[in-house]
Amino acid sequence: MTAAPPFPMHVSVTDARAYLTALLPPRTAETVPLAQAYGRTLAHDVPALVSHPSATESALDGIAAREADTLAATPDAPARLRVIGESRAGAAFTGTVRAGECVRIYTGAPLPAGADAICPVEQLSDDGPDGVLLRRAASPADVRHEGGDFRAGEVVLYAGQRLTAPRLALAAALGHAELSVQRRLRVALLSTGDEVVTPGQPLTPGQVYDSNSVGLHAMLLEAGCEVLPLGHAPDSPQALQAAIDAAGGADVLLTSGGVSMGKYDFMRDLLVEQGRVSFWKVRMRPGGPAILGGWNGLPVFGLPGNPVSSLVVFHVIVRPALTGQPPQTLRLRAATPFRALPDKTAFWRGVIDGGTVRDYGQQGSGILRSLSDADALVIVPEGQPAQPGDDVDVILL
């Protein structure tokens, strides 16, 4: 009888994510100017420093008037108002609008005292040197009220939010020139395999280009990480050890290849025999052989070498742990059946078409074209196949 291994095996996807999260350092904060904050994650809630709009203003080009003076206006019987001045963005009218009067006003210009409504320029015609005819009543709905969007002191952005382009624009509108963001995680990246060749070099039969270094690097950047590229190491315990030792200063090392059951899968051997293992194998397909361990205090996550498998494990386990955000899923109608596996969650590649998702067809993890042709990973829970017409959860690629 063989003894049970001294670490968990065949863990769930959720547990795998939790094990990795537990090995990552706590996220400290740093302050960066807005121009460097794109893609970063907010470390603190962000209050508005000012109100928006900063004054009550017009939403349109037209005239500002008292609604009550204009209620009877129609195209056949327009209302006549006397124009007493102009309010434009950056140069307010300082007087007061009284009965029978109005002020020409432009989008974003402060509403003059006394006025409470706007009539758009399309509904106006000039009537003599100082008169204007309104074919429609002026409307209070076209007034934007001070603080109607947000008020000074109100929290508008939240800790943990990723700074997308719209959120960055909002941060500027709130009055911030810099933001407190989480320090980026430093992720060292290593491909392994005697057959793996850097693109640009000649390829002999039996070899394969190193697509993982390229794909994973890009995915790490998308996940907001700093990447320490270690290139690629051959299948030898010494070479792997030397490469791992070069990952000093990283928060975590991500490797690909060498974690399955094969004789030359030394990455697994190294962690199992000389390192510390948090788990080996996840109840998922593709990507089942993934391993998490540590080497001299450095957390090491070993992805399977197959580019499709490594992509799936990255999306489902690594990215959520690195970003602290669970995968974003979308519910779509299945257009084809999706097979379930008895004891694993399946992540089948799917093609999205008009609100439905269909099976990409070739689900072998060696089919590299699926990296480009598939739009989504269709999540099929253990033992729960989907039929056409069923709703399925998908992760967008």
Maximum Cα–Cα distance across the chain: 105
Shortest distance in whole angstroms from residue 291 CB to Mg ion:
13
Residue appearing with tokens 């990255």: 314
Return the residue of 139, 212, 363, 370 that touches ligand AMP, per CB under 6 A: 212
Using the rule CB under 5 A, is 193 a contact of Mg ion?
yes
CB 373, CB 353: distance < 8 Å: no
Instruction: Check residue 210 for interaction with ligand AMP (CB under 6 A).
Output: yes
Note whether 191 binds ligand AMP by CB under 6 A. yes
Q: Yes or no: say if 183 and 34 are a contact pair by the CB < 8 Å rule.
A: no
Per-residue x/- track, 250-289, ligand AMP (CB under 6 A): ------xxx-x-x---------------------------
Q: DSSP alpha helices (H): ranges in the chain?
A: 13-23, 67-70, 165-173, 211-222, 237-245, 266-269, 307-313, 319-323, 370-373
ω into residue 286 within 30 of 0, thus cis?
A: yes
Give the shortest CB-158-to-ligand AMP separation in angstroms.
38
Tell me whether residue 51 or residue 260 sits nearer to ligand AMP (CB atom): 260
**Judged by CB, which is closer to ligand AMP: 231, or 326?**
231
The residue (of 78 and 305) whose beta carbon lies closer to ligand AMP is: 305
Q: Which of 220, 221, 239, 217 is nearest to 229 (CA)?
A: 217
Q: How far is the CB of 272 from Mg ion (least distance, A)?
A: 16
The interface partner of residue 51, options being Mg ion, ligand AMP, none and the CB cut-off 5 to 8 Å by kind, is: none
Please select the residue that binds ligand AMP; options are 61, 67, 195, 393, rule is CB under 6 A: 195
The answer to whether residue 239 forms part of the interface with ligand AMP (CB under 6 A) is no
Dihedral of the CA atoms 156, 159, 162, 166 (nearest 10)?
10
Evaluate whether 46 touches 171 at the Cβ level (below 8 Å).
yes
- By CB under 5 A, name the one of 112, 257, 293, 350 that touches Mg ion: 257
In angstroms, what is the minimal distance from the CB of 260 to ligand AMP? 5
CA distance 395 to 328: 6
Secondary structure class of 63 (helix, strand, coil): strand
With contacts defined by CB under 6 A, how many residues of the chain interact with ligand AMP? 17
User: Could you say which residues in the range 107-126 bind ligand AMP, by CB under 6 A?
Assistant: none
304 is a site residue for Mg ion (CB under 5 A):
no
- Residues ≥6 apart with Cβ < 8 Å to 178: 31, 32, 33, 34, 37
Segment (H or E) for 391 = strand 391-396
Q: Which is nearer to ligand AMP, 43 or 233 (CB)?
A: 233
How do 101-105 and 62-65 pair as beta strands?
antiparallel
Using DSSP's 3-state secondary structure scheme, residue 322 falls into helix
CB of 184 to ligand AMP, least distance (A): 24
Contact status: 379 vs ligand AMP (CB under 6 A): no
On whether the CB atoms of residues 157 and 220 are closer than 8 A, the answer is: no
370 binds ligand AMP (CB under 6 A): no
Residues of this chain that bind Mg ion (CB under 5 A): 193, 257-258, 305
Residues of this chain that bind ligand AMP (CB under 6 A): 191, 193, 195-196, 208, 210-212, 256-258, 260, 262, 304-307
